[in-house]
Structure 1
């Protein structure tokens, strides 16, 4: 099936009712706001929110229990494995309704998000609809990360990061999905701990259904709160992308190879710099070696230009200049490891401990 042609398999209009599914682990600082934006969705259909609770250590579970006690629309399921795809599948299986809305404890929905998504699902006959990840921050560091997320130089390529025209898409951020399609393609692959949404949408499209991007849909996303957590997150994400390239080869976009290419270029340039310093390169070979530095200088200039032009405080601009290469290099290092050794049991350790206060 070509995505620019009518879908060969049109997902039937779901029965009334919307089930929101949210995997949760150590999200005490974000959970209450995330839940509130779900329960305030402007939809005529009945709704429920199912929280798949991992073994949190920061009081998240007790908070979730208080929230569920206040509102019968909130239900809890245990996710002792803590893995996101496992939690999503547990929540979907516990759901009552035919429309599944994936939400994240680090995200907040606009009041009309679900209403718009349901209208788009019906209008285009899609199986999954997603919109724009609109990153935001509470601290100077987090706001700098948000600017990197929202910029094409940071996470460019995916429609849901930089925005694009409405139309068929490779994947969908979070996603508003038809349950029967999920069951038809086998739900989330629980062997994939990061990038599970991309892999699910690959199977949805392979089965003949349509994945759709609607820029009118926007979700506020709160990035990691410290440099160390951000780096750990991106190493894990890159590692799993390397694993997905091992599994699915050329079905991965070429844009995924840019960060590892940067890592290789930096490593080679470092070796050449050492050789220059000790006088091992001379003559034509030495002059030719200098050309390796040109793309790195251009990259640094672009990053600095984006940081200076981004607005915000001086502190935010300095953080942005540090955050962008940190994201790229961490992701690229993870990718090389995942591609060469496989992801194996790699997890996103940035989610495992939130006991420290925000910086």
Structure 2
């Protein structure tokens, strides 16, 4: 379907009049000066561009906010680093559209992202649509492991309605998000998964559409991919029981290592060996809770 053929879903206003849905966008960032400009430019370059874009700076000290302002983008600053939940909460309050496009600072979204996600919102039960994370050119052993086990780039993922949510690249119905209380300001990670649970409990649908592409725009080291895997799977309480630990070890052998060896990648298999032990160690709080990884990495629960 071409741009000119796309029909914007209609929003009912009260009992009578209707109008097309409006779209705004936000990009959250925290010390992501190297990638945030490309992220926000991918938002501005949509075939159906948002009417407004706001960048939310969560306490950066690397000049990212000044870089965006020099390019003419609106930046709203948190006075200190508040974490993902509080930053996304503020982003939804600063946004004005019926639909709000979210793109994390370490990602970029395909030009047709909004155009391909928009038809889902013809159904008023749909509160959010999120896309598939891709890494077209993984570099090094950490990149290969991330593509295989975090992003699952080779896995077949059909479009579906589900109760999970990733906001690394997503289109959100603002009234639904605010109606269930917005993002939890207390959460420093897993804030999108938790919001997805509340939306589902309120009777809304969340759509995953693999055509709606989100590209990972940052390289990770081996420690960073292990931290990222833990953060994506830790849950809000960050607990790993002994029974869960044994299950993680079993999965790393039967699932992860098996995939690595099938791809003739023994180096990645070594990361898979370490992964469950890292998750268990991390859950015991041997690092400061404030250490949540490098800035606003994409938070996907599809990986």
TM norm. shorter chain > 0.5: yes
Where 1:229 maps in the other structure, the secondary structure is helix
Question: How far off its partner does 1:236 sit?
Answer: 4.4
- 2:260 maps to 307
Question: How far off its partner does 1:300 sit?
Answer: 4.2
Whole-angstrom distance in 1 between the partners of 2:296 and 2:106: 15
Question: How far off its partner does 1:54 sit?
Answer: 1.9
- 2:15 maps to none
Larger radius of gyration: 1
> Within 5 Å, which residues of 2 pair with 1:266-277?
none
Question: How far off its partner does 1:231 sit?
Answer: 3.1
Aligned residues: 279
- 2:149 maps to 148
Aligned pair partner of 1:334 in 268, 272, 282: 282
Where 1:243 maps in the other structure, the secondary structure is coil
TM-score calculated relative to the size of structure 1: 0.66
Where 2:122 maps in the other structure, the secondary structure is helix
Change (3 A) 1:326 1:134: farther
Task: Say if 1:17 and 1:98, in contact at 8 Å, map to a contact too.
Answer: yes
Question: How far off its partner does 1:49 sit?
Answer: 1.8
Where 2:237 maps in the other structure, the secondary structure is helix
Change (3 A) 1:328 1:172: same
Where 2:47 maps in the other structure, the secondary structure is coil
Whole-angstrom distance in 2 between the partners of 1:181 and 1:244: 27
- 2:158 maps to 165
Change (3 A) 1:137 1:58: farther
Task: Say if 1:136 and 1:143, in contact at 8 Å, map to a contact too.
Answer: no
Task: Say if 2:36 and 2:106, in contact at 8 Å, map to a contact too.
Answer: yes
Whole-angstrom distance in 2 between the partners of 1:257 and 1:134: 33
Q: Mark the runs of 5 or more structure 1 residues left unpaired by the alignment.
A: 1-10, 153-160, 247-255, 266-294, 312-316, 355-359
Where 1:180 maps in the other structure, the secondary structure is helix
- Structure 1, 120-129 or 107-116: larger mean CA deviation: 120-129
Residue 218 (structure 1) aligned with residue 213 (structure 2): yes
Question: How far off its partner does 1:348 sit?
Answer: 4.2
Where 2:178 maps in the other structure, the secondary structure is helix
Task: Say if 1:26 and 1:352, in contact at 8 Å, map to a contact too.
Answer: yes
> Within 5 Å, which residues of 2 pair with 1:277-288?
none
Task: Say if 1:23 and 1:104, in contact at 8 Å, map to a contact too.
Answer: yes
- 1:36 maps to 41
Whole-angstrom distance in 2 between the partners of 1:235 and 1:164: 22
TM-score calculated relative to the size of structure 2: 0.77
Change (3 A) 1:54 1:14: farther
> Within 5 Å, which residues of 2 pair with 1:94-173?
94-123=94-123, 125-136=125-136, 139-144=139-144, 145-151=146-152, 162-173=155-166
Question: How far off its partner does 1:334 sit?
Answer: 3.3
Aligned pair partner of 2:289 in 346, 351, 355: 346
Richer in strand (by share) = 2
Where 1:351 maps in the other structure, the secondary structure is coil
Question: How far off its partner does 1:306 sit?
Answer: 2.3
- 2:30 maps to 25
Residue 261 (structure 1) aligned with residue 246 (structure 2): yes
Where 2:56 maps in the other structure, the secondary structure is strand
RMSD, aligned α-carbons: 3.6
Q: Deviations over 1:128-148 (max 9, x none)?
A: 112212235563144212233
Whole-angstrom distance in 1 between the partners of 2:98 and 2:19: 6
- Structure 1, 143-152 or 51-60: larger mean CA deviation: 143-152
